[in-house]
Amino acid sequence: MYDGDIIDAHHHLWDLDSGWHSWLTTDRPKEMVFGDPTPLARNYLLPEYLADMAKVRLAKSVHITAAHTTDDPTAETRWLQQMADQHGFPHGIVVSAALEQAGLEQHLEEQAAFANVRGVRQIVSWHENPIFNFTARPDVMADPAWRAGLGLLAKHGLSFDLMLFPTQLPDALALARAFPDTQIILNHTGSPVDRDEAGLARWHSGMQALASAENVAVKISDLCAYDHNWTVDSFRPFVRNTIEWFGVERCMFASDFPVATLHGSAREIYDAFKEIVSDYGVDEQRALFHDNAVKFYRLD
């Protein structure tokens, strides 16, 4: 099995005293798609993250925004960049931006000026089950103002981290084709939450179709959010199918810590990934665990 360096292409850090994470404090729901968020309602800073990752050969990491702040949109970025300057981690930063907002271009310029900023994420995940929702409307990707904002990312050298549910995968394909110069990085293997026959069929067909867009890469991450009692065998078809459709060259493994800590340790999750791709060549495994994160998040 793979025993080389790992780049974690998707994790979060948070300081709840900052006031940036109301979804974990004042507005915390009793249940989310990954379960009860209460255990996550604690400061999770770099020492905690590095301790959680101590049993894997962590070389670099990419921090994905989890903040819900609008008063000072670069506050989280400044905090993370200072951390990176002092401690090395995180090596890449994906920031928050509301793509439909007025003054977006100035905001992108300010964010892109930070040395470690690589991309933007705005969650568009909508599900008919309100417990699972991360946004209030299902059609964000069709909004003209939002699409105009997405069109600014390539100009500033920024990728877009796309988090959605399988019912939205056809919209994602249309988006990728409309913006071929924007690197889109699909989060969490397309979030396969619906495990009945119809739900799995939607995920299969949507992912296969999306793979035809060459500007889309996939993070295979946090499958346990949608499979709380997971096993290596329950992960296997989602991992193997995704790699078959997108190719080794457009997939990368990631943790989604601390969210994934609700259902497993870093060693357990990464060992599962390693076992599932243990029959791949050495270079292919290194691409999945390390090199593709370097490529897509420009970490070299």
Average pLDDT of span 216-235: 98
* pLDDT for position 256: 98
* Verdict on whether the full-model pTM lies above 0.85: yes
* pLDDT for position 70: 66
Return the axis-axis angle of helices 232-246 and 266-276, rounded to nearest 10°: 60
What's the pLDDT band for 35 if we cut at 50, 70, 90? very high
* pLDDT for position 136: 87
Q: What is the identity of the amino acid at 42?
A: R
Residues 6+ apart with CB under 8 A from 79: 15, 18
What are the residue ranges spanned by the domains of the chain?
6-297
**Sheet of strand 159-162, all strands in order from the earlier edge strand to the far edge:** 6-11, 58-64, 92-96, 117-121, 159-162, 184-186, 216-221, 251-254
Please answer whether residues 269 and 235 qualify as being in contact, where contact means their C-beta atoms are separated by less than 8 angstroms.
no
For tokens 């193997």, the residue is 240
Q: How many C-beta atoms surround the C-beta of residue 296 within 10 A?
A: 22
- Strand 117-121 versus strand 6-11 pairing type: unpaired
CA 160, distance to chain mean position in Å, is 10
Please determine, for residue 270, whether its predicted confidence score (pLDDT) is greater than 80: yes
Please answer whether residues 235 and 276 qualify as being in contact, where contact means their C-beta atoms are separated by less than 8 angstroms.
yes
* pLDDT for position 68: 79
Residues 6+ apart with CB under 8 A from 50: 58, 89
Residues forming a β-bridge with 133: none
Please determine, for residue 168, whether its predicted confidence score (pLDDT) is greater than 70: yes
Q: Where are the beta strands (DSSP E) in the chain?
A: 6-11, 58-64, 92-96, 117-121, 159-162, 184-186, 216-221, 251-254
Average pLDDT of span 18-44: 93
* pLDDT for position 69: 66
How high is the mean pLDDT of the chain?
96
Please answer whether residues 108 and 120 qualify as being in contact, where contact means their C-beta atoms are separated by less than 8 angstroms.
yes
Please determine, for residue 71, whether its predicted confidence score (pLDDT) is greater than 80: no
Of 3.30.70.20, 1.10.520.10, 2.30.30.30, 3.20.20.140, the CATH number of 6-297 is 3.20.20.140
Higher per-residue confidence, 14 vs 133: 14
Size (the chain), residues:
300
